[in-house]
Amino acid sequence: MSVPTASVLLIGDELLAGEIQDRNGPYFADQLTQQGFLVGDIRLLPDDVASISSAVSEALRHRSLVLVCGGLGPTSDDRTTEAIGRALEKDLMLDEEQWDRIRKIFSLLRGEEPPPGNEKQAMLPEGADPLPNEMGTALGYVAREGESAVAVLPGPPKENQRMFEMQFLPWLERHLPDRSAWATRLFRVFGLPESEVGHRLRGLEAEYAGLRVSFRFHFPEILVKLRCERTSEDLLQAASSDLESLLAPHLYSTEEDQLPAILGRELEKRGLKIVTAESCTGGLASKLLTDVPGSSAWLDRGFVVYSNQAKQELLGVPEELLQQHGAVSEPVAISMLEGALARSDAQVGLAITGISGPGGGTLGRPVGTVWIAWGDGRRNRAETFQFYWDRDYNRILSAWTAMYQVYRLVLEQQSG
């Protein structure tokens, strides 16, 4: 059986003008690949009926699936459904159930009827299957055209990702159940440059015929994917074992969740709480940790001590340490960690002090110099790192490195 192919068409003048950065293309390409499709192209198109209609008609001649994203809003520049109707030569019909839902939303939130023209969000080509929107008012839908299909989803990622997973994937299972899907495994790597990851895995494809290895720089981590046909699961398992050995100890996860969530899960599993003490990162580590739902179960508190006075008053860092060694130093990082642990109910902690840039560096402590301390009160450690990015990236790397060191410490406690 041949692998089904797909095109992804992203609609919006704002994309072509560079006003917003696309987040939908990579998501849909990844999801469709996991579902067994070979994504042949991703195109950006303007809010123009002729351009969209022509692109859809052309893609339908070559692809099993055309996924169209965006242009389903209520305003005059949202023209995607009109274009789809023209491409399929179908009249547009009002979905009464969806229109009633939109009216109820306006009544509940605004106490009034939707403004004139809003009914366009409840229109779909005749014969199309609706995809209800749980997060917004724009109706998605799927239309069949011979052996191919056109799936149309709204532009906002919070809306289209939910719709894709909860509405479109079940439709796909009902209507295209026999597609030949790939077996895929994801690996998250932190602390190695992409070139080093590639070097370590350079012989993997040659050793396992039929295996595909792909890399993606997803700052501040590297994503590695292994892929093969579903009939070769044993091959994938063997290659995965080799990969884990080659990338240890920098391979930290084989899941979709990133480091903050993975660290939080390990802390909660052991009944531990963490405290943060941050200077140059200004609370970024705490922010990343509290982005994780349920973080109240394992994050106790965070201290932002940007000035030397704050370090002394909030964490008890001795003035003589600051005068003798400077704020960006091992003794101060350790003292910040000790002070945070002593002033919290946490069992593990991290402390960050450094020079993020663009100014503030010296010959002895250039921009990007960061001291990070981590520990549990019994085993407190500190290490200096030299980062070479801009201010934003230096801060992100500092926060991730500190979290990664705590993650390693927690795993060591288990093995110890």
Contact 189, 252 (CB under 8 A): yes
Q: What mean pLDDT comes out for the span 6-18? A: 96
143 pLDDT exceeds 70? yes
Count other C-beta atoms under 10 Å from residue 18's C-beta.
7
Q: Which of 46, 70, 81, 58 has its CA nearest to residue 7?
A: 58
pLDDT tier at 1, thresholds 50, 70, 90: very low
Count other C-beta atoms under 10 Å from residue 52's C-beta.
25
Q: What mean pLDDT comes out for the span 81-92? A: 97
d(CA 52, CA 223): 33
Architecture of domain 5-175: 3-Layer(aba) Sandwich (3.40)
Q: What mean pLDDT comes out for the span 45-66? A: 97
Percent of the chain with pLDDT over 70: 98
Residue ranges per domain, the chain?
A: 5-175, 182-253, 259-415
d(CA 339, CA 314): 8
Q: What mean pLDDT comes out for the span 67-86? A: 95
d(CA 103, CA 70): 22
Q: What is the pLDDT of residues 207-223, one digit of tens each?
A: 999 899 999 888 999 99
pLDDT at 230: 76
pLDDT tier at 267, thresholds 50, 70, 90: very high
Q: What is the pLDDT of residues 62-71, one digit of tens each?
A: 999 999 999 9
pLDDT at 7: 98
CATH of domain 259-415: 3.90.950.20
Largest CA distance in the chain: 79
118 pLDDT exceeds 90? no
Q: To the nearest whole number, what is the mean pLDDT of the chain?
A: 93
CATH of domain 182-253: 3.30.70.2860
Please report how many Cα atoms fall inside a 13 Å half-sphere around the Cα of residue 139, on the Cβ side: 25
Q: Which of 67, 92, 215, 220 has its CA nearest to residue 148?
A: 67
Please report how many Cα atoms fall inside a 13 Å half-sphere around the Cα of residue 111, on the Cβ side: 0
Percent of the chain with pLDDT over 90: 81
pLDDT at 177: 74
